[in-house]
Amino acid sequence: MSMEKQLNIKLRSRILEYSLFIESSINDLLLLNLGIYDEKEKTKLFSNKGKISFQNKMDLLYDIEVLSKEENSDFELLMNIRNKFMHDIECDSFHILFNQLDNGIVNRFKKFLLDGQLISNEEACKDACDKLFKKNIETIENKIEITKAIQEKKYKLFQVQNEQIIYYIDVVHELIGNISIAAENSELKNPKVAVLGEEILHILEETIVKLNAESQKDIYEEFFNSKNNINAIFGIKRGLKNLLKWSDYKRPNTINPKN
């Protein structure tokens, strides 16, 4: 019997390919949820030289409630299989593997067998392992879509808020303009009306000064033009550029009711 056949390199390579793909995808999912997007090579824990283990990443995703207990269990099941095939030279088949694992792990694996198939069937176990791998990949893909959808909702929320602010500014602008016109067109020859008109115009002038004040008109522009502010809102630590641009939403701030 050749060494390659004895070690069952084909099966081990298949399991290794599964685990490498899963580990890379899990890393991306965790980075996304930690707000680290396109600069992972600069991190100490998540770069190719990172010190955090796959199990640590899984535990962290579970702790921050990205993965449910059942989903976490499915990833751990694949990693248990991977560890045995990669680190135990005697483990060259699923038959030997399940003789070495406890019943709890074996029973969890049985869920992935097709109806009527037995865990003693080597080919059936290969198919079940493939099914387990695909389920884990689907879980990661779904979690990534959910995380992106949450970020998009936050983005839209701020859009709505900005539109609401602009709406109120427009209402005030129109109100001031209408009052100003009404005051100017009133019967100012009547002393009482003239006094009232002057008071109204004075109030309008003060309001216009406040609305046009430099300290007020740049509040939102300053906030949304700050990358640090945007990152803080979305929980982003690294790598997100130009998510929001105030210029996309802002309108002229100078109010002149006589125009």
The residue extents of the domains of the chain are 3-148, 152-248
Residue ranges of the chain whose pLDDT lies below 50: 1-4, 215-217, 237, 240-259
pLDDT at 169: 75
pLDDT at site 246: 35
Residue 10, Cβ neighbours under 10 Å: how many?
9
DSSP per-residue letters across the chain: --HHHHHTHHHHHHHHHHHHHHHHHHHHHHHHHHTB-S-GGG-SSSSTT----HHHHHHHHHHTTSS-HHHHHHHHHHHHHHHHHHH-TT--SHHHHHHHS-HHHHHHHHTTSPTT--TT-HHHHHHHHHHHHHHHHHHHHHHHHHHHHHHHHHHHHHHHHHHHHHHHHHHHHHHHHHHHHHHHTS-TTSHHHHHHHHHHHHHHHHHHHHHH-HHHHTHHHHHHT-HHHHHHHHT--B---SS--GGGT-------TT-
Give the model's pLDDT for residue 38: 64
pLDDT at position 199 is 77
CA distance linking residue 207 with residue 204, whole number of Å? 5
Q: Write down the pLDDT at residue 212.
A: 65
